[in-house]
């Protein structure tokens, strides 16, 4: 695909496989094209590695954090389970939301929680709301331990952010979806991989080996889950295009 921008003429020209079209530069259609390219370039230059939340690196696209906070605010889970801890910024983010709402706690699962990250998380002022579980997120013993930390009747929301291969995410979905309560979500993050197969830091196999494929396969097998992003409760935009690293990520439990 070739894109040419003429700021003086306020136009954008696109050539896709010899098929050309012209768009007004200041239009929802042009914004969708440019933002999709911006997200890909931004991922490759590690744009998301420049953000922290309350002192901890969060390594997430800010737009996705705003969207997931809306889901958390509407669901009001008693427990947020996240696979993939890294520096702990996401755990701190979710814990801060729950504290602001007056209830709830977070469980973080990772195959390896490095000592300096554990120390930073456990010494954080929000540490009382966070429990850490070290081990593979798909190990039945780890899944059982996490499940034992959820009490009867509690609302649960799950975020999958560990190994992003199709098979691993598929196994996580099968393991943790039973914990998700009606009206809540299990979120298979970072499906953007499907569009990163051709960037310098990407891999060709990501075109099919990604969380989106896992989410689609899971939804096809489980009628009680549907791929459905949280609704826009406020939307005065001129278009519906979302800037996200998490396409087709939100699986909502309907029953």
Give the sign of the dihedral formed by CA 200, CA 201, CA 204, CA 208.
negative
Task: Quote the pLDDT of residue 83.
Answer: 98
Residue 239 and residue 32 in contact, taking contact as beta carbons nearer than 8 Å: yes
* Beta bridge partners of residue 227, listed in sequence order: 251
Residue 122 and residue 129 in contact, taking contact as beta carbons nearer than 8 Å: no
pLDDT in tens, 4-19: 999 999 999 999 888 8
Query: What integer is the mean pLDDT of 220-241?
Result: 91
pLDDT over 80 (residue 76): yes
Q: What residue ranges define each of the domains in the chain, with the CATH number in brackets?
A: 2-44 (no CATH), 51-253 (3.40.50.150)
Task: Quote the pLDDT of residue 180.
Answer: 98
pTM score of the predicted model: 0.96
Of the two residues 157 and 234, the one the predictor is more confident about is 157
């Amino acid at each position: 695909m070739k894109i040419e921008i003429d700021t003086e003429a306020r136009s954008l020209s696109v050539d896709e496989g010899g098929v050309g079209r012209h768009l007004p530069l200041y239009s929802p259609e042009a914004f969708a094209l440019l933002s999709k390219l911006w997200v890909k370039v931004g991922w490759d230059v590690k744009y998301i590695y420049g953000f922290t939340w309350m002192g901890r690196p969060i390594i997430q696209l800010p737009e996705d954090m705003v969207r997931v906070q809306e889901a958390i605010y509407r669901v009001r889970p008693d427990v947020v389970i996240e696979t993939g801890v890294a520096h702990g910024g996401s755990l701190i983010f979710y814990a801060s939301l729950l504290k602001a709402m007056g209830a709830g706690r977070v469980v973080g699962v990772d195959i390896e929680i490095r000592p300096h990250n554990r120390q930073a998380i456990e010494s954080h002022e929000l540490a009382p709301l966070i429990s850490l579980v070290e081990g593979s997120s798909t190990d039945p013993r780890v899944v059982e331990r996490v499940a034992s930390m959820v009490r009867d009747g509690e609302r649960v929301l799950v975020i999958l952010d560990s190994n992003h291969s199709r098979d691993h995410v598929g196994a996580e979905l099968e393991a943790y979806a039973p914990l998700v309560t009606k009206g809540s979500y299990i979120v298979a993050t970072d499906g953007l991989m499907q569009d990163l197969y051709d960037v310098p830091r990407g891999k060709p196999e990501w075109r099919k080996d990604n969380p989106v494929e896992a989410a689609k396969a899971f939804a096809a097998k489980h009628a009680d889950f549907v791929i459905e992003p949280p609704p826009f409760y406020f939307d005065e935009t001129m278009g519906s295009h979302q800037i996200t690293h998490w396409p087709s990520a939100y699986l909502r439990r309907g029953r």
